[in-house]
Structure 1
Amino acid sequence: MKSISQCVRIGLAIAVLAPIPALAQEGDPAAGKTVFNKCRACHEAETDRNKVGPSLLGVVGRTAGTLESYQSRYSPNMKELGEEGLVWNEENLTEYLRDPKAVVPQGKMAFAGLKNDEDLANVIAYLQADPKP
């Protein structure tokens, strides 16, 4: 029978030697700017100018459906999510940009989503960098 200290040492050894799961992928803002070209037809990220979709300048940390200059154009579904407390953070943006209709089923965004994890991480890093011209 092993002592508790032996079990603890074995457990620590296993923890140290076990493969460490990949941490959340850090994105590259410069690469994200290139990925954002897929979004430029409808969105601006370097100015507060709205297009078909709202400006994404400062979107990280913003409550969904609350950009004042776009208020009359948000879908009721997007506004509801904001009222329920959805804030655009890295996790929510990843989920939304992967499959917009899964997050905002009656939203106006026609984009099918970004399926590549690296593209997602990069475009979010670009948006987090709060790009300005």
Structure 2
Amino acid sequence: MKSVWPALAFLALSSTGAVAQDISAGERSWNKCRACHQVGETAKNGVGPQLNGLFGRHSGAVDGYSYSAANRNSGITWDDAIFADYIKDPRAKIPGTKMVFAGIKNEQEIRDLTAFLKQFATDGKKGS
């Protein structure tokens, strides 16, 4: 019987690519955001805009929220890369934003938070 160790070693060495996203870890990270933002079917604007359907949306586009001119005029359409850059240091990405948040520096935490937020469609329902 052949040993499986060489195959396992190969798999371990070849799996150093993209790290999986963890929605439950993203939900824990969301606790840093929820003082100002909401998601879900009953989400409303608060200190910050509700974040349902964030990805693919233009910055400054949530009805009923009073954005800074910097956000409204940023020309940003939210995607994974732009969100990651923004959440690391919001005031560096959009100077003049009203968002007062020190940022999230950990790349894995950002990926997890992204996965959590992507669950919520524009209507706040969780996608499959």
* TM-score (structure 2 length as normaliser): 0.77
More helix by share: 1
Residue of structure 2 equivalent to 1:32: 26
* TM-score (structure 1 length as normaliser): 0.75
Match of 1:60 among 55, 62, 66: 55
Distance 1:119 1:98 in 2: 10
Distance 2:18 2:71 in 1: 27
Larger Rg: 1
What percentage of aligned pairs have identical amino acids?
Answer: 36
Query: 44-53 or 91-100, which moves further after superposition?
Result: 44-53
Distance 2:44 2:17 in 1: 35
Distance 1:49 1:97 in 2: 21
Distance 1:33 1:104 in 2: 25
Judged with a 3 Å threshold, the aligned counterparts in structure 2 of structure 1 residues 21 and 128 are, in CA distance, closer, same or farther, namely same
Q: For 2:24, what is the secondary structure of its paired residue? A: helix
- Runs ≥4 residues deviating over 6 A: none
CA RMSD of aligned residues (A): 2.0
Consecutive unaligned residues in structure 2, runs of 5 or more: 1-12
Distance 2:27 2:64 in 1: 24
Deviation at 1:24, TM superposition (A): 4.3
Write out per-residue CA displacement over residues 57-102 of structure 1, whole angstroms, 9 at most, x where no aligned residue: 11111111111121xx100000011xx3x11110110000011011
1:71-90 alignment to 2 at 5 Å? 73-81=66-74, 84=75, 86-90=76-80
Consecutive unaligned residues in structure 1, runs of 5 or more: 1-18
